[in-house]
Amino acid sequence: MNESGHVVSRSKMCITVINSNAHVEQINWYEKYDKLRNASGLYFPGYFSHGMFINN
């Protein structure tokens, strides 16, 4: 967000998926993050942060 309160990038709302063949894919999760944030009682410009690692 810039000084005037406008969103300038949503790049932090993407996830990175790396499969067992080392193929890397960026997936836009903006809508999912927005729903999770709102369900948590947080609304723009509030945010939450999390991380996950799964090894199958």
pLDDT in tens, 41-51: 887 777 777 77
pLDDT computed for residue 5 by the predictor: 76
13-24: average pLDDT: 90
Q: List the domain boundaries for the chain.
A: 1-48
12-34: average pLDDT: 89
- Could you give the 3-state DSSP secondary structure of residue 38? helix
Report the predicted TM-score, pTM, of the whole model to 2 decimal places.
0.56
Percent of the chain with pLDDT over 70: 95
Percent of the chain with pLDDT over 90: 12
* Own/partner long-range contacts of 32-40 (Cβ < 8 Å, ≥24 apart): none
Look-up of token digits 């709102």 = 38
